[in-house]
Structure 1
Amino acid sequence: MLDFGRLVTAMVTPFNQDQEIDLKETKKLVDHLIATGTEAIVVAGTTGESPTLTKDEKLLLFEKVLEFANGRAKVIAGTGTNNTKTSIELTKAAEQIGVDGVMLVAPYYNKPSQEGLYNHFKAIAAETKLPIMIYNIPGRTGVNIQAKTLIELSKIDNIVSVKEASGDLTQMGEIIKNTADDFYLYSGDDKLTLPVLSIGGYGIVSVASHLVGDQMKDMINSYLKGNNSLAASIHLDLLEFFEAIFVAPNPAPIKYLLNNNGFNVGSVRLPLVTVTDEQSNYLNQVYQKIMDRN
C-alpha cells in the first residue's frame, strides 16, 4: 500500500491578479510545503477552490505540481465530483499524468443514499489502479458517509484511506476499529489532529500546515515517540490558530495570511470573497502570537 505520510497539505491554488493560475507561485509554495514537513500534497481539493477550477486547470495543476514536487512528496489529485462519470474521466486523466493517488469527495448537492455513495466510489475505484482517499465532509456536501458504508468501501483493494471531516470522533473510532490496519484514517480538521491520532488515526490533511507545518510535524512526531505532554503542549499552542483560519470560508483566511507572509497566492475566486478588515486583524494577531513563541 502507498503511504501518503502523516502530514498531508490540502494546497491552495495560487492565482495572479487576473485570477488565473500562477505557476511560478505554485512552485514556490510546493517547495515551501515540502521544506516544512509536508509529505503529500492534495491538489485541487476544497482548499484549492476545486468548484471554480475548470477541468483543464485541474489537469494543468496535477501535471505541474507533480513536476515541482519531483518525487519529494506524493501528489494526490482531487478528482471527485457529484457526477460519477465525470469523476471517472478526471481520475483516468490524472492517472495518465502520473499522480500518486486521488481524493474523492462525497457527491455534493444531489444527496445520494448510503447505497448511492457506496456504488459511486466503487464505480470510480473499478476504473483506476490509483490508491484512493475518500473525503467525508458533511458540512459542505450535505451528506455523511456513515461508518458502515466506509467500512464496506475499505474492503475495495485500492480504497486505502479516508479524510474524515465530520468532526465525529465516535464515527471515526468505529471506522478505525472495524477496518484493516493498512486502511488509514486522516483527520480533516486541524484542531482534531492530536485527538484523532490518540484513537488510532494515521495523520492529518491540513490547511494550517501552509504556515505552521514544522510545528505540526513536531506535534505528530512527539506523539508517535510517546511524548504526549509535548504533543499536547504544541496542540494547545496552535489551537487558536486552527480556529482562526476558519473565521471565514476556507481558503480565504489562509490565503490572506499567505499573502501577508511572502507568498503571492492571490485572492479567492467568486463566489468566495476575501476576509474583512476585522477578520484580517484577528488573523494577524493570532499568527503573530505563534511567531512570537517560535
Structure 2
Amino acid sequence: MTIERKSPTGILGFPTAPFKENGVLDENALAANIQFLVDEGLSSIFIACGSGEFHAINKSEYQVMVETAVKVVNGKVPIYTGVGGNITTAIELVKLSKDLGADGYLILPPYLIVGEQKGLYNYYKAVIETSELNAIIYQRDNAIFSLETVQRLVDNFPQIVGLKDGYGNMELALEFTQTLGDRIEFLNGMPFAEITMPAYANIGFNSYSSAMSNYIPHISRIYYDALLGGNKELVRQIYVDVMLPLNRIRQARKGYAVSLIKAGMEIMGMDVRGTVRPPVIELEKAHYHQLEAVIKNTLEKYPIVKEEVRS
C-alpha cells in the first residue's frame, strides 16, 4: 500500500467528545457531530484531539471515538487522530490509530515536561519512527521547536506532512514557512484560529482548525473564502460581528475553548448538552446567554443558505 504524503488543507474539522449527563461518552451524538462536519464540507476530521478532550478520555473511549469516525466518514475525507502523553502511550495510540484505519495522526505536546530541543527531537522521533502513517507535529505550550529541530525531523522522517502552530510567534512561523517552503503544509492551530488567520494566511498557512465549525460552519466557510478571495471588507465585517464577540466569551474563563464549542452546538439544537469533564468547566449562565445572543445576531446577519448538493 502506497501512502500519499500529503496533509489535509483548508478548514479542518475537530469534533468534540459528547458526554451524557452521567458522564458516559455519547456515541450517537459523536456520530452526528462527525457527520455534520463531513456534510458541511470540512476537508478532514481530527478525532480525539484538543476539542475532543484528549486529556480526559481513557483508551477504550479513544478507540470508540476513532472507530466511530472511521465508520461515519467512510473514506470521504482523511481522518487524523490525536496522540500524546508519555512515549509508550503515544506509540500505543499510533498503532491503534493505524489498526483502526486512520490516515494519520497529530502529535500533541509531551506531558508536562519542558524539554530541550534534543529532548523534543528524541520524543517525536520515538513516536514517528514506529509507523508509516502520516504525522503532523504540533507546536504549542511545552513543545516549541527551533527551525533546526523541525528541519532535522522533516529531513529524517518523510511521514511528517505538516506542522500545526499553536504558539503564535510570527517570527518563528516565518522561519518555518520561508525555509521549508512546500516540503510540508502549515496549519494554524491557535485557539480560535479564525481570529489569527488573516495574519497566518499571509505567511503561507493554508489551513486552520475550526472549532466554530462544530456549530456555525457556514461562517467559517464564508470567512475563509473571503480571506482567500481578497474580500477585505467582508473579512473585516465577520471579524467584528462574529469573531471578536465569540472570542471575548472564550477568553472569559480557562477551559472555555472546549466548553464554548459544546454550548454553541447545544444552542444550535445539537444533542450535546454542554457536558465537559474536569478540569474544564461548563459555560456560566451569563456567558451562555451572551453566546446565544451572538449566535442569534450572526444568523440574522449571515443566514444559513442550504445547498442542494455539497461537494
Same fold (TM over 0.5): yes
Corresponding position of 1:279:
287
Give 3-state SS (helix, strand or coil) of 1:251's partner.
helix
Q: Matches of 1:114 and 1:265 in 2, distance apart?
A: 40
1:293 is displaced (CA, Å) by 0.9
Query: What pairs up with 1:103-182 in 2 under 5 angstroms?
Result: 103-138=106-141, 142-155=142-155, 156-182=157-183
CA contact (8 A) 2:7 2:161 kept: no
CA contact (8 A) 1:84 1:124 kept: yes
1:147 is displaced (CA, Å) by 3.6
Query: Does the C-alpha gap of structure 1 residues 237 and 34 become closer, same or farther in structure 2, counting only changes over 3 Å?
Result: farther
Corresponding position of 2:263:
256
1:289 is displaced (CA, Å) by 2.1
**1:74 aligned to which of 78, 91, 96:** 78
Query: What pairs up with 1:182-261 in 2 under 5 angstroms?
Result: 182-189=183-190, 190=193, 191-240=195-244, 241-248=246-253, 249=255, 250-261=257-268
Give 3-state SS (helix, strand or coil) of 1:178's partner.
helix
Query: Does the C-alpha gap of structure 1 residues 257 and 243 become closer, same or farther in structure 2, counting only changes over 3 Å?
Result: same
Corresponding position of 1:96:
99
Q: Matches of 1:207 and 1:127 in 2, distance apart?
A: 30
**1:38 aligned to which of 29, 36, 42:** 42
Overall identity of the aligned pairs, in %: 22
1:282 is displaced (CA, Å) by 2.1
1:159 is displaced (CA, Å) by 0.9
Q: State the AA in 1 paired with 2:173.
A: M
Give 3-state SS (helix, strand or coil) of 1:151's partner.
helix
Corresponding position of 2:307:
none
Query: Does the C-alpha gap of structure 1 residues 204 and 243 become closer, same or farther in structure 2, counting only changes over 3 Å?
Result: farther
The superposition leaves residues 189-215 of structure 1 with CA deviations (integer Å, 9 ceiling, x where unpaired) of: 221122211111121012112123222
Query: Is 1:27 aligned with 2:28?
Result: no
Q: State the AA in 2 paired with 1:9.
A: G
TM-score by length of 2: 0.87
Q: State the AA in 1 paired with 2:205.
A: G
Query: Does the C-alpha gap of structure 1 residues 152 and 206 become closer, same or farther in structure 2, counting only changes over 3 Å?
Result: farther
1:166 is displaced (CA, Å) by 0.6
1:228 is displaced (CA, Å) by 4.4
Root mean square deviation of aligned Cα: 1.8
Give 3-state SS (helix, strand or coil) of 1:272's partner.
coil
1:216 is displaced (CA, Å) by 1.6
Q: Matches of 2:126 and 2:181 in 1, distance apart?
A: 21
TM-score by length of 1: 0.92
Q: Matches of 1:247 and 1:258 in 2, distance apart?
A: 19
1:284 is displaced (CA, Å) by 1.8
Q: Matches of 2:207 and 2:119 in 1, distance apart?
A: 28
Corresponding position of 2:64:
60
CA contact (8 A) 1:161 1:185 kept: yes
Corresponding position of 1:9:
13
Q: Matches of 2:224 and 2:100 in 1, distance apart?
A: 31
Query: Does the C-alpha gap of structure 1 residues 236 and 176 become closer, same or farther in structure 2, counting only changes over 3 Å?
Result: farther
Give 3-state SS (helix, strand or coil) of 1:149's partner.
helix
Query: Does the C-alpha gap of structure 1 residues 24 and 226 become closer, same or farther in structure 2, counting only changes over 3 Å?
Result: same
Q: State the AA in 2 paired with 1:197.
A: A
Structure 1 residues not aligned, in runs of 5+ = none
Q: Matches of 1:116 and 1:129 in 2, distance apart?
A: 22
Q: State the AA in 2 paired with 1:133.
A: I
